Chain A
Amino acid sequence: MRRGGFRVLDMVKPFLPYLPEVQSAFEKKKKVPLREKVIYTLTTLFVFLVCSQLPLYGIHSTTGADPFYWMRAILASSRGTLMELGIGPIITSGLVMQFLTGSKIIQVNDEEDHALLNAAQKLLGVLIALGQAVTYVLSGMYGPVAQLGVGNALLIVLQLVFAGVILQCLDELLQKGYGLGSAISLFIATSLCESVIWKAFSPVTFNNIGRSGQEFEGALISLFHNLITKSSIRQAFFRQSLPNVTNLLATVLVFLIVVYLQGFRVVLPVWSKNSRQGSGYPIKLLYTSNMPIILQSALVSNLYFISQLLYNNFSGSFLVNLLGQWRGPTPVGGLAYLITAPSSLAAHPCHTLFYIVFMLSTCAFLSKTWIEVSGSSARDVAKQLKKQGMWMDGHRDSNLHKELNRYIPTTAAFGGMCIGALTVLADLTGAIGSGTGILLAVTTIYQFLDTFDKELATES
């Protein structure tokens, strides 16, 4: 075509008619009213919740150690159900495409290319889901394949892939203007909220006979239980084996801190040439929002995966041991151990120190990198402002970029560090769900409320 030669994107073309697609609301020039958006969002959520409760048909067993335990919160997956893969395939395919376009292996020029890129991403998502499903079944996660039978094994793969396709459609539905925000973050936030509610109100009881008598799993219920039947409520606050009230309070604390930090921003006064209207261009402290923590956890989980794989196969090697030593699903040595949250602050001061330094520096670094990749760096913002006919008081047009550069990278790095610090805080205080999970959920909920507010304002 224009450039001639072979383009990777063109390979997707034959699949276009077979990929399910949601017609964009923006394309139709139709404004979807807020009421409908809320209904679409809630329906999506409902479908997701049902999917994460429906057990897979044909599986044999899901007992035994869960190798993906530490990824469940971030991937919004739940074991042995249709949501076994969660949003993993979607995120992975999105990241891959992001880096491909970012590194200019794939060139996107016009509308058509955009459509192709979307299709490619979806196709990749389905392929990843297929690959993961096959791996899961073959690795014997649901019982040995011989025991399952070929028919059942195929059925399981089919179910998982189909669930992946449904999730993709739901995500696209919300993405294309029918909902508030994105489905992915919604699902993550939902699964975290679910676990917080469960840990606070779970009616499950444990009886450690002789030691402490009956105990509730739910922290708040246990508090009431102790309040009524025993004289001291110390145990409800400090018990170790089950979620306690302190954890719950830590969760609330982290939640509040994040909401507080969301309000921090620097407002650069900019002026519009057209309407001569002064307005502020806000640069938030959490400029990259929850992105650094998503990237950080993606990095760590990939490292875990590789390390675990290597350790299981070549455990003797020095380098492999340096990378990580594992006992079941928990790392006990090497780098993987050092970048895991320590169980207690005082017991392993060196470990804690390393962990904190690692978290802060990676978050800051990733945040700073992300603005370049995602097109929200100072240069891009300057360009965007120029396009809108905005200028900054007392600065030449060419200086806008420099002026923005004074703020944006610093903000991004510092904001990333704050996010990292909050994660550390959440992990060390034992907040419910991992620190990453809470951060993701809180920022998502905040964004949803923000969008809702804005929509409400434009509606009336």
Chain B
Amino acid sequence: MAASEENSALFPIFILTIMAIPLVPYTMVKLSRAVAKKQRTIHCQCLECDRSGKYKRSLFKKISNFSTWSNLTLVLLWVVMIFLIYYTKNMSRETQVFDPFSILGLEPGVSDSEIKKAYRRLSIQYHPDKNPDPEANKYFVESISKAYQALTDPVSRENFEKYGHPDGRQGFQMGIALPKFLLDIDGASGGILLLWIVGVCILLPLVIAVIYLSRSSKYTGNYVMHQTLSAYYYLMKPSLAPSKVMDVFTKAAEYMEIPVRRTDDEPLQKLFMSVRSELNLDPKNMKQEQAKFWKQHPAIVKTELLIQAQLTRESGVLSPALQGDFRRVLELAPRLLEELLKMAVLPRTSQGHGWLRPAVGVVELSQCIVQAVPLSARKSSGVSSEGISPFLQLPHFSDAVVKKIARKKVKSFQELQEMSLEDRSELLTQVAGLSATDVDDIEKVLEMMPSLTVDITCETEGEEGIQEGDIVTLQAWVTLKRPNGLIGALPHSPYFPFHKEENYWVLLADSVSNNVWFSQKVSFMDEGGAITAASKTISDAMEGSGAGVKETSDAVREAIEKVKGGSRLVMGKLQAPSEGTYNLTCYCMCDSWIGCDKKTSLKVKVLKRTRAGTRGFVSDEGAIAEEGMEEEDEIEEEDYDDDYESEYSEDEDDKKDVVEKKGSKKANGTVKKKESSSEESGSEEE
């Protein structure tokens, strides 16, 4: 009776522990995150962005934000836990260790007369003669009289002192803290047990594996389909014009999956009419071109039209069904554009260079989609290469406003940015006829706009010049500044309905030969991650060049300061091409803002390869260059921690010993080599 009660209290404790160990830390993390949540807003404050509803935190939203599934389960689990604690506390009160003093209500070590007195007092209360209650009877026999005996009877007392129980040595019981019904295998629980084993131990892993495999065969690590990547790979051409990038972009397999409905035809036709001018159709034989456009795969037609709807800000006229597709298309767009860019800069040429022109086209398309600015607005107008598109990303700007301010000699976006505050507001209110609140909005957006500086160096580590075939280390510090002082921020993008982070692409390219030498994505959002990454790369580089501990730590500290000041480190290695002087351009392009891209030129001079390094290398044998010409960019220390791996090295060991023996008489290394080879051939002849 008592044992089963005890067991039923033990199982909850087991469950409780298993629950509490993940639950408590998880809750603490969650709470601390909720407390430390940054109150600073990092998104654009202009009216248009507010109106887009992306960053709205209404009361309803706040509630729904709190009542997510994870939070609800968290609360539920805590309730269960508290219940369990309460339950076990209650249950375990009955399962106390036999302690005669506490049963008699005495302090340990009191005199015999006191014990007798207490026993008599309790007897009056519980003795079956005085108390007819069977419970009391039981308690008297099992506890009180036993306790009294234990303290007065010498045998019992000795037993109690020796084994902790007046009845002498007690057994040693073993059990499992699981509910009873799980443990008797013969009865009904056999089925439960079988179900449990088959279900949880075999089926569950299998199902998870199958789901994982089927998903991962379709998607890459970046949640983009394999099919999309291969389509992009084949369609990417070295001189893909920026206007044609769109055609490649829409071929993604994800977009093919969007259903094509018959009911969409009419609204799409309507949409086509409104965006026709943007589609690059030849105006001379419009009919033919139109027919050709509609003959494409319906999903591609639809995607292209929907993207054009975004670029021309025509999304308001879409039917509800199309509105859903439109959101889907835009949701996928950033991810796909990133992959497309990666495809463009993929090493294609024999020197391992990617293509510049398509890469630039992809970034421009990305900027246009995020800012909802038509591609045609980018056509260069003579003054700036980006045309009027930078103006159009500002709130309250339209073609008419741009024309008006152009009359006042403000033709490029940079001119507008560089004007003083008063001049600008005067220009906008007087000439363009905007209201004071509108001007305020524009100022907010202009304050949000990043300006970039790139500080790039290219050198062979520890050498003076760059020679053919060297591994060149490229180090660039990309520094971002905004007039309002933020570093990591969300761009002004009122027409893009999703959360979009700014990403920057650093491309080192030869613009004449269309070659991208090096490319990397930079993000300014995660400062902590950038600090660890930068300090790691710096310390690795310093270690490789043999610098001391102090120098390394100084360099790391400096790098951390820089990162905190809004810079990001880009580090890469590339192989120097053949001799010559290269005029490279370092492009630093933003994928969400128009008009803040930065180009920095960099001259790289590659010298002819000389025999050896300039670092005072002393060789005691002539032919170094002939030796070991195979490419080895990394030396890996092999960890021979296992019997198996090491045996492969064993034969080298033998050979070397032979070599060593023969060569030890001679001082010269070259002779050593010859000697050993002749030795080997000699042995073969035997």
Interface residues of A (CB under 8 A from B): 2-4, 35, 39, 46, 91, 94-95, 97-98, 101-102, 104, 107-109, 113-114, 117, 171, 175, 182, 184-185, 201, 203-214, 216, 218, 220-221, 223-225, 228-229, 267-284, 288-291, 370, 373-376, 379-381, 383-391, 393-398, 443, 447, 460
Complex contact A275–B469 (CB within 8 A): yes
Our pick among B618, B640, B686 for the contact of A376 (Cβ within 8 Å) is B640
Min CB distance A390 to B, Å, is 6
CA distance A279 to B632 in the complex (A): 12
Are A375 and B640 in contact (CB-based, < 8 A)? yes
26 contacts between A and B (CB under 8 A): A4-B686, A98-B647, A101-B647, A101-B650, A102-B650, A117-B647, A175-B644, A203-B11, A210-B170, A213-B96, A221-B17, A229-B88, A275-B469, A275-B470, A276-B460, A276-B463, A276-B613, A277-B471, A284-B637, A288-B640, A374-B640, A390-B635, A394-B616, A395-B618, A397-B621, A398-B620
A386 to B462 alpha-carbon distance, docked (Å): 20
Alpha-carbon separation in the docked complex, A24 to B1 (Å): 63
B92 touches A276 (CB 8 A): no
Asked if A207 and B653 make an inter-chain contact with CB atoms under 8 angstroms apart, the answer reads: no
Within 8 Å CB of B176, what residues of A?
Answer: 203-205
Assess whether B644 is in contact with A214, with CB atoms less than 8 Å apart: no
Q: Are A221 and B13 interface neighbours, CB within 8 A?
A: yes
Taking the closest CB of chain B, its distance from the CB of A201, in whole angstroms, is 7
Binding site for A on B (CB under 8 A): 3, 6-7, 9-11, 13-14, 16-18, 20-21, 85, 88-89, 92, 95-98, 163-165, 170-178, 205, 209, 213, 216, 221, 460-463, 467, 469-471, 543-546, 573, 575, 612-613, 615-621, 624-625, 627-629, 631-635, 637-654, 656, 660, 669, 683-684, 686
Which of B615, B637, B643, B652 neighbours the largest number of chain A CB atoms within 10 Å of its CB? B643
CA distance A270 to B462 in the complex (A): 11
Give how many A-B residue pairs fall within 8 Å (CB-CB): 256
Determine how close the nearest CB of chain B comes to the CB of A314; give it in whole angstroms: 33
Q: Give CA–CA (A107, B651) in the complex, Å.
A: 8
List 8 additional contacts besides A171-B644, A289-B641, A460-B221; criterion CB under 8 Å: A39-B209, A203-B11, A210-B170, A212-B97, A216-B14, A276-B460, A280-B546, A388-B635
Report yes or no: A393 in contact with B546, Cβ–Cβ below 8 A. Answer: yes
Q: Flag if A397 contacts B620 (CB, 8 Å).
A: yes
CA distance A376 to B639 in the complex (A): 8
CB of B175 to closest CB in A, whole Å: 5
| Residues in chain A near residue B470, CB distance under 8 A | 275-277
A272 & B646 in contact (Cβ 8 Å cutoff): no
Q: By the criterion CB–CB under 8 Å, are A281 and B635 in contact?
A: yes
The answer to whether A203 and B178 touch across the interface, beta carbons within 8 angstroms, is yes
- Contact A213–B656 (Cβ < 8 Å): no
Closest to B544 in A: A280
Q: Could you say which of A117, A267, A281, A288 has the most chain B C-beta atoms within 10 Å of its C-beta?
A: A267
Select from chain A the residue with minimum beta-carbon distance to B222: A460
Contact of A278 (CB < 8 Å), options: B164, B461, B654: B461
CA distance A374 to B21 in the complex (A): 44
B653, A275: Cβ atoms under 8 Å?
no
- Residues of B within 8 Å of A229, CB to CB, are 9, 13, 88-89, 92, 95
> Could you say which residues of chain B place their CB within 8 Å of the CB of A94?
642-644, 647
Cα distance, A269 to B174, chains bound together (Å): 61
From A181, which residue of chain B is reached at the shortest CB distance? B642
Asked if B92 and A228 sit within 8 Å, CB to CB, the answer is yes
Neighbouring B residues of A370 by C-beta, 8 Å: 640
Q: Which residues of B contact A268 (CB under 8 A)?
A: 546
| Interchain CA distance A223-B221 in the complex, whole Å | 42
Contact A387 B641 (CB under 8 A): no
Q: Once bound together, how far apart are the Cα atoms of A91 and B643, in whole Å?
A: 7
Q: A94–B471 Cα gap in the complex (Å)? A: 41
A204 to B546: give the CA distance in the assembly, Å: 56
